Amino acid sequence: MPQIPAVPLSWYLLLSAVLFALGVAGFLYRKSIITVFISIELMLNAVNLSFVAFSYHLHRIDGHIFSFFVMVVAAAEAAVGFAIILTIFKNRRTLQIDEIDSMKL
Amino acid sequence: MDTVLFIVFAVIAVVCAFNVVLQKHPIASALSLIGVMGSLAVLYLLLGAEFIAMTQIIVYSGAVMVLFVLVIMLLNAGAEKPSGKSWFAQIAGLPLLLGFVGLMGFLIRGSVVPWTGAVRFGSWAGGTAQNIGRLLFTQYLLPFEVVSILILIAILGAVVLGQRELD
Amino acid sequence: MNLWLIPFFPLLGFLLNGLFGKRLPRAAINAIGVGSVALSFVYVVFVLSKLYPLHPAYSEHYFTWIQSGFLHIGFDLFVDRLTAVMLLVVTGIGLLIHIYAVGYMAHEGGYYRFFSYFNLFVFFMLILVLASNLLVMFVGWEGVGLCSYLLIGFYFLEGFAGNAANKAFIVNRIGDFGFSLGIFLTVLVFKTLDFGKLATAVSGMPVEASAGALTAITLLLFVGAIGKSAQFPLYVWLPDAMAGPTPVSALIHAATMVTAGVYMVTRVSFLYNHAPLAMSIVAFIGLFTAVLAATIGITQNDIKRVFAYSTVSQLGYMFLGLGVGAYSAGIFHLMTHAFFKALLFLGAGSVIHGLSGEQDLRHMGGLWKRMPVTFITLGVASLAISGFPGFSGFFSKDAILSAAYAHTPWMFWVGSITAGMTAFYVFRAYFLAFFGSYRGHHHAHESPPVMTIPLIVLAAFSLLGGLINVPHWLSPAFPLAEHENVTAMAISVTCGILGIALAAYLYVIRPALAESLKTSAGSLYTLVANKYYVDELYSGLIVRPLETISRSVLWRGVDEALIDNSFVDGLFGRTIRNWGALLRHLQSGSVRNYATWVLAGALLMIFIFSFSGGGR
């Protein structure tokens, strides 16, 4: 069996950057509030991957704690976020993000 | 073996992430996100983060995504319609994103993280539940407690917002 | 010893009543309002008995408040013998007046508001008294000013109360401006504000023969005292301050707050001792105010205003005492004055309460039958303020006048004549209210026990308070000067008794004579009855010109012509408005556009950060 070279750490970081960029793209180009919300979760996951990768590199588990907290905050954010989405839907009967633009001069 | 696993799951993650962005229907995006999260959990395992990998599957792909799907069902969210608004985001978004990825790649190449330093499965397994628990209840006790208050506030906020009647 | 607990109780009372008072029953408001001051009083007695000889002073450091360069200011409290006298006066008399207010305010709206302000006032007054440096004292000083404003304007729905409150606040600002300048100059000269360190620093300096830095500091501080203690020319706010409820007049504008200036001057007496010129000015202004206010007091018809002018006059006496170097006599008079003046006001309040709000002496008369307790206690107070032998005012006034005689004999003569006038106008009010026939139409009744008991206690103190030998108690800090002078004593007592006799003759025996005297005095009477037109003078010289300048120059000229026309509507303003109209489009309300800007900004920051070497 031929020896396959091991994966360098920076590949993980690149993967993280790519996922993050895709999350941002979703945020910018998608028009449904729910998909925008999904894109935010994607970005949070991408950052988590960076935390865990750095944690491996430094051989410290502080990074794991951070990503744990990110997950907790993401859960809290999902709860409040969906409550807001529900309220918006109840009041305005729409989920299109571009329709919700009354906060302007 | 590490390399194969990494390449397989990295490809799955990226493809799923593309799917998240490209699909028109929210439910398809949500299901693709579960794919991203699952493959990320495997990558966490490769990096020696057992606890985080399990939390990822249970909390994220389990609980949070169920919430997403539930809300999509509840609101009966349909496919998106082009709006023609936010032209600035449409025009400037892609160049900025490409610039972002390029800059990140450049920085990662030139950073202190060795380009060649290999990740081997099992070479470091610090992320056990025991280690994380110990750190969480000693050094990070205060943030931990603060986070529990944050969750409480989030619950209250969700209840208050959800109760509000249509006016 | 936890000195902080002394002001803490009233603060707690303020918070409880202020935050929750609206929902509490009256009994709870009473318990909190009166109880907090009672606790404070008991704790003061406890602390003082523990620290008994109180020589040297006892101080406590809590935290560093300001640390800036050479300037180090701590939040420190301290107690010495002078503070002890003030603490007992503030909490003791404060407690009696709180009890009295329970009865007096029983039918008023905003009950909880009244008691929370009252407690807040006691809190700030205690901070002022306990402060161990000028800045902490200034905190209390401003705080009592605020409470005074709130309480004068307590009946804020009536225009005159609001105006009176504004007047008191604004006039006090002038004084406080002087006070703060004095503090700045002290920092500049001494690099400290701590009383102990100041005393040490000053003791090494020579007495200033002519005006110098010390004279400037002491005079500026005295400007503050002039404002707070209602001396000429800033006394005009005090008579108007009677617009507040009577317990307020008794506590704040007679017994405690207005004596803050006297206390402050005594506290920094070591500075004054090195500035003889400033001391002469203090004595002169005190004496002048005493005479001026006494003459006005003779002509007033509102019972509270008579007593207000007598307060101004008596404060003038205290400053006379301080100015001639008899600090302990000044503080002695401060204490006895707190007793009998609080009693005078509470008695007046009892009369007003009994007559359902009538304050005009011309509509009273013959009340001695219907209000026996008020009649007797107010009589004791009147005798005390007149310096009748054996009563508390006799001892303290005699101490001041003897010191004045030893210092400058003519000041003694003027002071004695003023004492005669004081006796005359106080008894004029007393006779008009209680003797003769009843001229009003309300049904008069005696006040409830919750009001009369504080009156009786205060009457006991007015009668016997002179036996508390304050000058002896203060002698470690302010050495006793042996100038007991029997002749001077006899002269001032004679003046007082003559004043009483004249009042009795004019208002009891031959009431018609007073009216004919009034008409024969003619223009002189009009001048005095209109308070020498001082208010009108201030209005004409200061307020009107300021208004005119503000209206014609600052408003029409600067604001409309210069700022509006040439800047706002000019090239400058139009350019900014056009740019604003352009940039307004950035705020499109579209979340996705905002997110794009965030991304661009983040990218820019990463770019700058990583290529300026921030990453390494």
Q: Provide the Cα torsion B149, B154, B156, B157; round to 10°.
A: 140
Q: Where are the alpha helices (DSSP H) in C105-212?
A: 111-130, 134-152, 159-190, 195-203
Q: What is the pLDDT of residues A56-83, one digit of tens each?
A: 888 888 889 999 999 989 888 888 888 8
Residue C231 is which amino acid? Q
Q: Where are the alpha helices (DSSP H) in C191-259?
A: 195-203, 213-228, 237-240, 246-250
What's residue B46's pLDDT? 86
Query: Looking at the partner chain, which of C584, C588, C595 has a beta carbon nearest the beta carbon of A28?
Result: C595
Average pLDDT over residues C307-320: 90
Query: Looking at the partner chain, which of B13, B60, B105 has a beta carbon nearest the beta carbon of A17?
Result: B105
Q: What is the pLDDT of residues C548-607, one digit of tens each?
A: 888 888 888 888 888 888 777 878 888 888 888 888 877 777 888 888 889 999 999 888
CATH classification of B2-78+90-127 is 1.20.120.1200, yes or no?
Answer: yes
Contacts of C595 in chain A (CB under 8 A): 24, 27-28
What's residue B112's pLDDT? 58
Average pLDDT over residues C125-136: 92
Report the alpha-carbon distance of residue B164 to residue C17 in Å, rounded: 34
CB of C352 closer than 8 Å to CB of C358: yes
pTM reported for the whole predicted model: 0.70
CB of A21 closer than 8 Å to CB of B99: no
- Domain map of chain C by residue range? 1-194+214-272, 275-511
Contacts of B59 in chain A (CB under 8 A): 71, 75
Q: What is the pLDDT of residues C157-170, one digit of tens each?
A: 887 888 889 889 98
CB of C262 closer than 8 Å to CB of C331: yes
- Closest alpha carbon within chain A to C586: A104
What's residue C95's pLDDT? 92
Residue C599 to residue B103, Cβ atoms within 8 A: no
What's residue A89's pLDDT? 86
The Cα-based distances of C142 to B59, C17, C135, C148, C257 in angstroms read 58, 22, 10, 10, 11
Report the alpha-carbon distance of residue C123 to residue C118 in Å, rounded: 9
Is the per-residue pLDDT at B167 higher than 70? no
The Cα-based distances of B4 to A6, A14, B41, B113, C591 in angstroms read 9, 17, 16, 22, 40
Q: What is the pLDDT of residues C229-238, one digit of tens each?
A: 988 888 888 8
Any idea which of B54-58, C200-204, C272-276, C609-613 has the lowest mean pLDDT? C609-613
CB of C154 closer than 8 Å to CB of C114: yes
CB of C447 closer than 8 Å to CB of C103: yes
Q: What is the pLDDT of residues B24-44, one digit of tens each?
A: 888 889 999 999 999 999 999
Residue A91 to residue B166, Cβ atoms within 8 A: yes
Q: Which fold has domain A10-98?
A: Helix Hairpins (1.10.287)
Cβ-proximal residues to C389 (8 Å cutoff; 6+ apart), any chain: C493
C406: Cα separation from own chain's centroid: 29
What's residue A1's pLDDT? 44
Is the per-residue pLDDT at A4 higher than 70? no
Q: B64 to chain A nearest CA, in Å? A: 6
Contacts of B103 in chain C (CB under 8 A): 603, 606-607, 610
CB of C321 closer than 8 Å to CB of C400: yes
Residue B103 to residue C610, Cβ atoms within 8 A: yes
Q: Are strands B118-119 and A7-8 parallel, antiparallel or unpaired?
A: antiparallel
- Domain map of chain B by residue range? 2-78+90-127, 128-167
**Residue A7, beta-bridge partner list:** B119
Residue B96 to residue C593, Cβ atoms within 8 A: no
Return the SS3 of C360.
strand
State whether residue B97 sits within 8 Å of chain C by CB. yes
Cβ-proximal residues to C577 (8 Å cutoff; 6+ apart), any chain: none
Q: What is the pLDDT of residues C478-519, one digit of tens each?
A: 877 666 677 878 888 888 888 888 888 888 777 777 777 777
Average pLDDT over residues C78-89: 90
Q: What is the pLDDT of residues C330-377, one digit of tens each?
A: 999 999 999 989 999 888 888 888 887 778 888 887 777 788 888 888
State whether residue A80 sits within 8 Å of chain C by CB. no
Query: Looking at the partner chain, which of A10, A12, A61 has a beta carbon nearest the beta carbon of B135?
Result: A61
pLDDT-derived band at C59 (thresholds 50, 70, 90) equals confident
Concatenated DSSP letters of A13-40: HHHHHHHHHHHHHHHHH--BHHHHHHHH
Q: A20 to chain C nearest CA, in Å? A: 12
Average pLDDT over residues B127-151: 90
Burial of B25 (0-12, 13-18, 19+ CB in 10 A): middle
Interface of A with C in 11-70 (CB under 8 A): 24, 27-28, 36
Average pLDDT over residues C265-290: 91
Query: Looking at the partner chain, which of B21, B30, B131 has a beta carbon nearest the beta carbon of A30?
Result: B21
Average pLDDT of chain B to the nearest whole number: 84
Q: Which chains touch B (3 or more CB pairs under 8 A)?
A: A, C
Q: A31 to chain C nearest CA, in Å? A: 9
Share of chain A above pLDDT 90, in %: 30
Is the per-residue pLDDT at B116 higher than 80? no
What's residue C11's pLDDT? 93
Residue C596 to residue B89, Cβ atoms within 8 A: yes
CB of A86 closer than 8 Å to CB of A34: no
Task: Say whether the peptide bond before residue C56 is cis (omega within 30 degrees of 0).
Answer: yes
Q: How many CB atoms lie within 10 A of CB C229?
A: 30
Q: Which chains touch A (3 or more CB pairs under 8 A)?
A: B, C
Q: Where are the alpha helices (DSSP H) in C465-485?
A: 470-473
Average pLDDT of chain C to the nearest whole number: 86
Q: What is the pLDDT of residues B49-107, one digit of tens each?
A: 889 999 999 988 888 888 888 888 888 877 777 777 777 888 888 888 999 988 888 88
